[in-house]
Structure 1
Amino acid sequence: MLPGITTLLQPVAANEIENRAFFGGDNLTNQATNRAVFSAEAAALQIAKAADKVVVKPGDTVLYRITIRNVGNINASNITLTDRLPLGLVLESKSLQASLSNNNTTSQVPISVAKSTEGSFYVTYAGSLAPTGTLNIIYAATVTPDGMRGNGRNLAVATAGSARSNTASHQLKIRSGLISDCGTLIGRVFVDKNFDGEQQHGEPGIPNAVIYMDDGNRIITDANGIFSVANVIAGNRTGTLDLTSLPGYIQAPNLYRIDKNSQSRLVKLAPSSMARMNFAVTPAFREGRQ
């Protein structure tokens, strides 16, 4: 460099290399060289996503498969996958696996995962993905009852430096399922001595009593006069006590509630809830009465 002559190089945006020099001296006017710009090749990513299920219900597990392919001309390094699960799906972190496929060979590779508070999680591969190479990521997610409030759509995108892939999506249809639409019926048949419709100490249960449901199901009480029926379809359900199954007993009068003076009981059974049907009887023949 000649005395009194200065040179200035200016940086430019990523993927462009600009070469331009400025020089001058104490008795020289500053001059600039021609501007030379070179384009740098960049990695380009494509992503696709699939799952082993299309229709699920709470309690199911979905297996997602993500494929990230380098369609550029240089290596893609430090790849980060941003995956946003739909509402009600929970990532099973221990299920995460990754493999690298290139030149007809596939090998397992280490990855790291971080979760956010907004339902997204981030998977990072610290290695390099060669051109035409593929990074395969597999993970499982569990469907919770909250999934019924979501839209079931999953979105994923991959980045490597300034390279950003397309957005891949997968649509799940989340149904309520049979069990969550049902409830449980419980109840008892007992001897009501004080005619209040409730069983107290000293009021025994009646075994082998028969109750017919509105859907035709037949229920028989156990040795203590108790019954329990699971997976009953929700709604307004009616049960009727078959007094012919209780020789020597009649329906007990209720001194407090008129609606209990019937062989039938009507209950409103909500999904995933429990309802009770109690039936009070009394001996048909008591001392001093026929």
Structure 2
Amino acid sequence: MNPTPPRVGFIGLFVSALSTFLFAGSTLILEPLVYARALDSKLGTAHAGPLPGTRITGIAIGHGLVEPALTPIAFESDSVVAIVSALEALELYPTHRAVLAGGATGAFAHRLRNSGNVAVTARLELANLAGDGYDLADLAMLRDLDRDGAVSAGDAPLVSGATVALAVGDSADLVITFAVPLNAPDRTTAWLRVLASAVGSNVAAQVTDSVSLEAAAAITLMAEKSASPEFASFGDAIEYQVRVANRSDSALASVRIEDQLPAGFSYEVASARRDGVGLADPAGVTGRTLAFTLGALGAQSSTTLRYRARLGPAVPLGDAVNEAVAISGTARSNVARARVRVTGGVFAEEAVVFGTVYLDSDRDGRRSADERGVPGVRLYADQGSWVITDADGRYSLTQLAPRTHALKLDPLSLPSSARPRATRHRDRGAGGLAFVDLQRGDLQRADFALEADLPADSVLRPRREHVAGRDPLGAAVRRMFNGEPLLEALGDPRARPSTGVLDAEGPLPLYQSGAIAPAHPNAAAITRVPVTRTPRGEGEIATEIESYSVTSRAVDEVVASGGIPATTTEPPNTGSRLTMPLEDLVLQSNRELVFLGLRDGDTLSTDRATVVVKGVESIGFELSVNGDSIPRSRVGRRVHSMANGVEAWEYYGVALAPGVNELVVMQHGSGGARPASARVRVIAPDHVARLELRTPRSAPAD
């Protein structure tokens, strides 16, 4: 830095009219920076006036008018002599402010000037100030001999505490160099002080510079994992795929993947590939924790890692979940998961029983090619599980322990004119009961014969028409996304489970005979479906009540027909309920911001709910209940799909107030885009006020 020498724009000598009160020849001692100053017209800083001992003589001249003619007159005072005293003064300027990134270096230029009227020796000190965000590193001070404001080869280093001699009006240029630590916290500021103090006096000057750390460019890593095949047994090989995307504008010098294999899985040596090119085996190849080094990853680009793992003999049955995280420096991706269902295969301990419930038209105890199966019949196993036959009368029971099991037909689920027929010597002469001896991994068949007094077509036609084209899973999915209720008739009341649904407002009309229950708060969304009653004597499906579908509930399942019992009982509604795994749902969804598994007017069975939201990935969500923000610590799971840019968050244990609650989720767009929002109102219960038991108006005879 080589500032322009100051231009003296004005030298003013101010001598007080005190001379009129002093005797002639009196002497006044003046301080030069008070009574005589030179003003720097560019920098506005003061510099020395006359040297010590300088004598200044002043005379005051007065003007007036003499009456009555008002004649102008002038008169002089006695002369006053002022002697300038010695004064030390230092100036240090300018002050600097800088904004740098971590790891950057910088330099500040300063000028130290002797603005007094005597020579001064100044001691220089350089230090970080305490109490700021961080300390600058590698502090150094140099005397800028060529006055170019930068570090040059000829500049003289100055240690803290060094002295500089300055004559009257002289100056010294200084350069301060420093470095910003790499680990300095974002958006913090370091303060630096340069102090110059006159040796032997208390005269000093200082500047305080600052260096603020700019926010580091956000590094956004996304990871997505899949496994193939999804079902495996001991000895099988699984191919895992991990896709990593760098969603930032900065290239990454090094990316690695930390991968946690499920228990009993082992990495297959030399199977790793990055984008189809062989990759070195990961660290930890003999254990469950693998560390793959991928190398550089460009800005706004992605890469795919593939490798194989093999199932060992000690792999536990059930879901085996693999987890992977992409890491670059301090940036970490989401936790990507892939699930493999481990089955026993030929080595499984569980056994399977399958068979058909058929109408034995010729009553020979054996199923002929033309004897058709009976749909909608319930079978119970002795351990409590049950199953309903499909449209062809077929069934299967899995995961049975290797021992003797008893299977029994539910007589209430049989056609009205049909009865079971004994076909085995272990049936004890009564049909509808079968004993099956199962070994480990066994697969056995057990058929059940029915006989009827009516023609087969009369017995089976109503049931076949009812189940024709029936797709319960597809219907549940359509209802979830389109709000279409599944309207089916309820069957024989005695075949229904003795359970009901309680909510905060009153009973839901799911299993009630006769008139509709007292008005529900969502009465407008309750659809009443009349069902034709048919006498049992004609062999048709008999019905005893009317069915209702509460379309406001997220996953209503009023699935039954006359004599065809519901396959399941609806579980308590504790929040978002999904028809498929969240990972699959995200892959099939668009980027619209919505609640999953919750719809407006839903009545929950608890005041602590699970809430699932989905929208655009990488933006995040803000969830509030009744205006109170829900912290992100409540997020138990996050699922991303880079294929379609969708992300879902699952909040656990969201507290609800008794009665109506308004849930609002928001996503703030980038670049000033208008934020998106979605809202839903749900009803949460209070303490149980009363328990009411309702009985049907009429009970059918056994």
2:346 to 170, 178, 181: 178
Instruction: Give yes or no for the alignment of 1:132 onto 2:252.
Output: no
Q: Is the 8 A contact 1:18 1:36 kept in 2?
A: yes
Distance 1:148 1:112, change over 3 A: closer
Query: CA offsets per residue over residues 21-62 of structure 1, 9 Å max, x none?
Result: 321123436542345331221422000001121111111111
Give, in whole Å, the separation in 1 of the partners of 2:349 and 2:440: 8
1:50-129 alignment runs, 5 A limit:
50-99=226-275, 108=277, 110-115=279-284, 119-125=288-294, 127-129=295-297
Instruction: Give yes or no for the alignment of 1:148 onto 2:268.
Output: no
Q: How does the TM-score come out when normalised to structure 1?
A: 0.54
Give, in whole Å, the separation in 2 of the partners of 1:134 and 1:109: 17
Give, in whole Å, the separation in 1 of the partners of 2:320 and 2:208: 59
Q: Is the 8 A contact 2:220 2:247 kept in 1?
A: yes
Give, in whole Å, the separation in 1 of the partners of 2:253 and 2:193: 35
Query: CA offsets per residue over residues 61-112 of structure 1, 9 Å max, x none?
Result: 111111000001101222111101111111102111112xxxxxxx737445
Please state whether the residue corresponding to 1:115 is helix, strand or coil: coil
User: Counterpart of 2:326?
Assistant: 158
The letter for the 1-side match of 2:269 is S
Distance 1:37 1:67, change over 3 A: same
The letter for the 1-side match of 2:310 is T
Distance 1:178 1:108, change over 3 A: closer
The letter for the 2-side match of 1:33 is D
The letter for the 2-side match of 1:21 is L
User: Counterpart of 2:178?
Assistant: none
Give, in whole Å, the separation in 2 of the partners of 1:141 and 1:157: 17
Instruction: Give yes or no for the alignment of 1:6 onto 2:174.
Output: no
Q: Is the 8 A contact 1:87 1:149 kept in 2?
A: no
Q: Is the 8 A contact 1:74 1:131 kept in 2?
A: yes
Give, in whole Å, the separation in 1 of the partners of 2:300 and 2:255: 15
The letter for the 2-side match of 1:169 is R
Distance 1:78 1:17, change over 3 A: farther
Give, in whole Å, the separation in 2 of the partners of 1:47 and 1:236: 46
The letter for the 1-side match of 2:277 is Q
User: Counterpart of 2:13?
Assistant: none
Distance 1:181 1:26, change over 3 A: same
Please state whether the residue corresponding to 1:6 is helix, strand or coil: strand
2:194 to 23, 41, 47: 23
Distance 1:53 1:19, change over 3 A: same
Instruction: Give yes or no for the alignment of 1:45 onto 2:221.
Output: yes
How big is the shift at 1:161? 0.1
User: Counterpart of 1:248?
Assistant: none
Give, in whole Å, the separation in 2 of the partners of 1:19 and 1:97: 46
Q: Is the 8 A contact 2:267 2:285 kept in 1?
A: no
1:267-282 alignment runs, 5 A limit:
none
How big is the shift at 1:134? 1.1
Report 1 or 2 for greater relative contact order, CA contacts < 8 Å, sequence distance ≥ 6. 1
How big is the shift at 1:20? 3.8
User: Counterpart of 1:189?
Assistant: none
Give, in whole Å, the separation in 1 of the partners of 2:212 and 2:185: 15
Give, in whole Å, the separation in 1 of the partners of 2:196 and 2:222: 52
Mark the runs of 5 or more structure 2 residues left unpaired by the alignment: 1-109, 113-122, 129-134, 137-180, 199-203, 351-400, 405-437, 442-702
Comparing 147-156 and 67-76, the one that deviates more = 147-156
Q: Is the 8 A contact 1:96 1:139 kept in 2?
A: yes
The letter for the 2-side match of 1:142 is R
**More strand as a share of residues:** 1
Give, in whole Å, the separation in 1 of the partners of 2:266 and 2:193: 59
Q: Is the 8 A contact 2:317 2:342 kept in 1?
A: no
Give, in whole Å, the separation in 2 of the partners of 1:92 and 1:110: 13
How big is the shift at 1:130? 0.8
Distance 1:178 1:75, change over 3 A: same
The letter for the 2-side match of 1:119 is R
Q: Is the 8 A contact 1:46 1:166 kept in 2?
A: yes
How big is the shift at 1:269? 7.4
Give, in whole Å, the separation in 2 of the partners of 1:47 and 1:22: 46
How big is the shift at 1:148? 2.0
Give, in whole Å, the separation in 1 of the partners of 2:316 and 2:274: 30
Mark the runs of 5 or more structure 1 residues left unpaired by the alignment: 100-106, 183-233, 238-267, 272-290
Matched residues, percent identical?
Answer: 21
The alignment yields a C-alpha RMSD, in angstroms, of: 3.5
The letter for the 1-side match of 2:194 is F
Query: CA offsets per residue over residues 118-162 of structure 1, 9 Å max, x none?
Result: 61111012x321112112100011112211257401111010001
Comparing 6-15 and 144-153, the one that deviates more = 6-15
Give, in whole Å, the separation in 2 of the partners of 1:109 and 1:15: 38
How big is the shift at 1:181? 4.5
The letter for the 1-side match of 2:192 is A
The letter for the 2-side match of 1:174 is V
The letter for the 2-side match of 1:121 is L
Give, in whole Å, the separation in 2 of the partners of 1:39 and 1:111: 35
Distance 1:112 1:23, change over 3 A: farther
Q: Is the 8 A contact 1:15 1:42 kept in 2?
A: no
Distance 1:57 1:37, change over 3 A: same
Comparing 27-36 and 116-125, the one that deviates more = 27-36
Q: Is the 8 A contact 1:98 1:111 kept in 2?
A: no
Please state whether the residue corresponding to 2:225 is helix, strand or coil: strand
Q: Is the 8 A contact 2:226 2:241 kept in 1?
A: yes
Please state whether the residue corresponding to 1:172 is helix, strand or coil: strand
User: Counterpart of 1:203?
Assistant: none
